[in-house]
Amino acid sequence: MVDVSQLAEPGSPEELLVRRLDLDALPRHVALIMDGNGRWAQQRGRPRVEGHKAGVAAVRDVVEASAQLGLEVLTLYAFSTENWRRPRYEIWTLMNLLKEYLRRELDNLKSNDIRFHVLGRWRELDDS
């Protein structure tokens, strides 16, 4: 059973939302399209890469909350075929952020019985 009191800091704006959660009504599978990190950074006068780094932190939060809520499947749509048209440096940065995240979080993923699957054209990814 999920202890919803652990999902938000007491007195935080999120606490009211968490208290209103109906855990029995939550879906088993949630899919998110990860979009807008570059725009988020640009709107704040930062390089697009900083937005992608902030997106990594957001992914960690989403994965943790999903596990805490007992979500069975979380799908993150992170890199579309259109993304290959981005500047080479941005693609390189995105791929390296993914590798860094997986290396850093691998033990945590394993210990929480979280499986990572790549969907789509995974053969187009660098072997590393």
pLDDT at 44 over 90: yes
pLDDT score recorded for residue 10: 87
Q: DSSP readout, 2-18? A: --GGGSS-TTSHHHHHH
Instruction: Give CA angle at 116 (33, 110), nearest 5°.
Output: 130
Residue pLDDT, tens place only, 72-98: 999 999 888 888 999 998 899 889 988
| 3, 22, 24, 83: the active-site residue | 83
Q: Which of 75, 79, 103 is nearest to 91 (CA)?
A: 79
Mean predicted confidence (pLDDT) in 6-11: 82
pLDDT score recorded for residue 2: 66
pLDDT score recorded for residue 18: 82
61 is catalytic: no
Euclidean distance between CA atoms 63 and 82, whole angstroms:
25
Mean predicted confidence (pLDDT) in 47-73: 88
| 22, 24, 35, 37: the active-site residue | 35
pLDDT at 122 over 70: yes
CA distances from 13 to 9, 16, 17, 19 (A): 9, 6, 7, 11
Strand bridging mode 29-33 / 73-77: parallel
83 is catalytic: yes
pLDDT at 1 over 70: no
